[in-house]
Amino acid sequence: MKVLIIGGGVMGLCSAYYARQRGLEVTVVERDPEERNGCSFGNAGMIVPSHFVPLAAPGMVALGLKWMWNPESPFYIKPRFSYELMDWAWKFWRAANAGHVEKAGPLLRNLHIASRSCFEELAELPDNDFGLRKNGLLMLCREERTWEEEGRMAARARALGITAQVLDSKETAELDPHVRMEVRGSVYFPEDCHLIPNRFMAGLLRILKAQGVTFRWRTEVTGWRVEDRKVSALETTEGDMRADEYLICGGVWSPSIGKDLALTIPMQAGKGYSMTMEAPRQLPTICSIFTEARVAVTPMGSSLRFGGTMEIAGVNDRVDPRRVRGIVKSVPRYYPEFRVEDFEGVPVWHGLRPCSPDGLPYVGRVGRYDNLSVATGHAMLGLSLGPITGRLMGEILSGHEPSMEIGMLDPERYG
């Protein structure tokens, strides 16, 4: 059976790996060249069972409105006349309620824990060291109020079977003595992990090539051919391509890829930034999140990556220096040994995260076609959920029922 996967990011490569494990013949079509630097490469590299609350959660609408007036805030929706944006915002508002969070929590927990196991298996493959470190995650809190809120979140995590420890400032410092912190306290999630994303992607690409997966780089989708209830061909800038099964893993470009198929996949691009310091003043051993600033910090070998922001401003490559400044200014407040000047000359990476309005990805078959599936919309959880998404797609593409209940991820839930 031949499978055609559109998109060579983490979803596309993970789906290709697990489809190949089931004996399928796989071709990956990617709009960018092989040497690329998209959303799957410059992120914080975190594997996070602790993140069981979707982006669409109670309080996020009010917080977003508040932060819109701060040019350095970690969450920003650029006002613009766009039907797609207004429709997305309306659906986001509808989803941001306690009932949605309660239903989504067990699913996200299960997905993250299963994906963590997949990462462990992948790390055991020969010559595939991608820097997996199972040291946990610290949610660092400077304010008493935030620490108390995170404490309540820790209680919810424990109710879901996720280990979480509430620590004061002294206990936090003792847990990671390699960096001086100025915090009121923290919540420690020992089951979380981190890795080096570009090394993970490079290793996976090397494995897929060795397994006979075909890659068509610099190839863009221009249309589709459909016969009855089946896709018969993918039209591209390099000619028509045919397969038995088709899978869209196009990230923020997925809605435009599926437009000619009348697919309704509400999506907004959430731009994120990161800066990787090659010779940091101090190097923590545990990845952290500055809770109030919404900045992620990940040690990657001898380097230290700082990443953050969720900027909903359309599909573009513009770098907003104000958002970058917000990340940089937050660092000395939590790590007082660091200085804003330390970031002078450090390159700024940016990537576009595919954000669904309810904070859940789109994973599974498309009902109106017998041989079309979708795996996209993972927002900030793309790397963390990449392997389990790929495993589920391998099951689906090979004609099996998915091994987990994923009804909430139905690609046509807004159709």
CA separation, residue 324 to residues 144, 331, 346, 379 (Å): 26, 12, 11, 19
Contact 298, 353 (CB under 8 A): no
CA separation, residue 10 to residues 36, 57, 237, 266 (Å): 12, 25, 23, 20
Question: Tell me, what's the pLDDT at 378?
Answer: 97
Tell me if 160 is assigned to some domain.
Answer: yes
Closest by Cα among 162, 163, 161, 189 to 175: 189
CATH number of the domain at 69, please: 3.30.9.10
Strands (E), 254-347: 268-277, 287-290, 295-300, 303-312
Task: For residue 79, name the pLDDT band (cuts at 50, 70, 90).
Answer: confident
CA separation, residue 88 to residues 92, 271, 399 (Å): 6, 16, 32
Question: Tell me, what's the pLDDT at 133?
Answer: 97
Tell me if 68 is assigned to some domain.
Answer: yes
Tell me if 338 is assigned to some domain.
Answer: yes
Rounded mean pLDDT, 150-162: 96
Say whether pLDDT at 95 is over 90: yes
- Name the residue range of residue 148's domain: 50-81+132-193+268-355
Rounded mean pLDDT, 228-252: 96
Question: Tell me, what's the pLDDT at 381?
Answer: 95
372-384 pLDDT tens trace: 999 999 999 999 9
Give 304 or 67, the one with higher predicted confidence.
304
The secondary structure of residue 39, as a DSSP letter, is T
Burial class (CB within 10 angstroms; exposed 0-12, middle 13-18, buried 19+) of 58 = middle
Say whether pLDDT at 344 is over 90: yes
Question: What's the rounded Cα separation, in Å, for the pair 356 and 361?
Answer: 7
Question: Tell me, what's the pLDDT at 165?
Answer: 98
Is the pTM higher than 0.85? The answer reads: yes
Give 36 or 349, the one with higher predicted confidence.
349
Question: What's the rounded Cα separation, in Å, for the pair 178 and 163?
Answer: 23
Rounded mean pLDDT, 303-327: 92
Say whether pLDDT at 76 is over 90: no
Say whether pLDDT at 192 is over 90: yes
Question: What's the rounded Cα separation, in Å, for the pair 394 and 3?
Answer: 10
Task: For residue 167, name the pLDDT band (cuts at 50, 70, 90).
Answer: very high
Rounded mean pLDDT, 4-17: 98
Question: What's the rounded Cα separation, in Å, for the pair 368 and 320?
Answer: 40
Tell me if 347 is assigned to some domain.
Answer: yes
Question: Tell me, what's the pLDDT at 247?
Answer: 98
Question: Tell me, what's the pLDDT at 72?
Answer: 85
Tell me if 399 is assigned to some domain.
Answer: no
Structural domains in the chain (count): 1
Tell me if 118 is assigned to some domain.
Answer: no
Tell me if 388 is assigned to some domain.
Answer: no
- The 10 Å Cβ neighbour count of residue 159 is 10
Tell me if 13 is assigned to some domain.
Answer: no
Contact 282, 335 (CB under 8 A): yes
For residue 201, give every residue at least 6 positions away whose Cβ sits within 8 Å of its Cβ, in sequence order, or none: 10, 13, 40, 41
Task: For residue 313, name the pLDDT band (cuts at 50, 70, 90).
Answer: confident
